Amino acid sequence: MSLKELAIQLSGYIQDGYSLDVLPIQENGNGEISVLQITVEGFDELPIFVTSTDEQILCVTNLFQKEEVKQELLDDLNDTLLQLSVNVPLSSLGKIDGQYVLFGAMSVNTLLDNIAHELVVQSENALEALEALEEFLN
């Protein structure tokens, strides 16, 4: 399924009582959509950026910048992230450049209901991760 098809099918989709808002935010050189910004109602401050390969749908939620971390607690934060990763099913915590993120992946053959469900779960997981890590942030 292309990102354009996914955007059309998910826009306004209601899953687990949450509405999904989809915004194409980046096109490649061929005019095809290459990144979607998906916001789950109630989690507006934590949009999910979605892209795809031939095999996977990749989902990334930005949590916070390295500069937002209390520097004296940086090592403790990284240790806590490794421990939390085990407790966040189907999502992983990581770092892209200076941005801490929550990310997940699904097969491009995943059913639409399951994609929508996993997007809601990723939003919930992102909020829970932020709450668990707030003591490390300025």
24-83 pLDDT tens trace:
997 777 878 999 999 999 999 999 999 999 999 999 999 999 999 999 999 999 999 988
Phi, psi of 108 (to 5 degrees): -65, -15
Pick 67 or 90 by higher pLDDT: 67
Q: Which CATH class is domain 3-136?
A: alpha beta
Name the nearest CA neighbour of 123 among 40, 52, 60, 55.
40
Structural domain boundaries in the chain: 3-136
Q: Which pLDDT does position 89 carry in this prediction?
A: 67
Residue 31: the pLDDT is: 78
Determine phi and psi for 84, rounding to 5 degrees.
-70, -35
- The helix (run of H) or strand (run of E) holding residue 59 is strand 56-65
pTM over 0.85: yes
pLDDT value at residue 90: 73
- Residues 87-114: what's their mean pLDDT? 92
Provide the 3-class DSSP secondary structure of residue 125.
helix
CB neighbour burial string for 107-129, b if at least 16 within 10 angstroms, e if fewer: eeebeeeebbebbbbbbbbbbeb
Rounded Cα distance, 47 and 101, in Å: 11
Question: What's the pLDDT at 119?
Answer: 97
Handedness of CA 27, 28, 34, 35 (dihedral sign): negative
CA 84-98-81 angle, 5° bins: 10
